[in-house]
Amino acid sequence: MEKYYRNPYIVIGVLGLLYSLYKRREVLKVNPKAEKSIDELEKTTTHTFVKEEKKSNLPKEFIDDVKGMDNTTLKQTFKNNKEMLKRTELDKEKKQQVREMLLFIKNELSERNSN
């Protein structure tokens, strides 16, 4: 038995296990749910995924226009606005508005393509 106490690998392994148990106790003190398994947590939690409309600063007319466009017009609008953003000098506020519009158009295109 004494040869095990002198073997450095066994000593390091035992110290590593003790350290991990110590850290585990700290985690359990902070978050008691960490002790439960994932399956147990999934059974008790109910997931409700609701698609929330993100409040945007975009004008309602713009959103209605985008919803009314067909895919080819929407792609062309996206391309034109992206090029316009590159070649014209705008102040930061207007650039951000154009980026938001581009993002909205891109999301609309991806939603249409996924359906």
Tens-place pLDDT, residues 19-55: 999 998 888 888 877 776 667 666 665 555 545 455 5
Helix (H) or strand (E) holding 69: none
Using CA atoms, how far residue 71 sits from 27, 67, 115, in Å, is 51, 10, 12
Place of tokens 């995924």: 49
Contact 57, 91 (CB under 8 A): no
Q: Is the pLDDT of residue 57 over 80?
A: no
How much is the pLDDT for 14?
A: 93
Q: Is the pLDDT of residue 12 over 90?
A: yes
Q: Give the separation between CA 45 and CA 67, rounded to whole angstroms.
A: 36
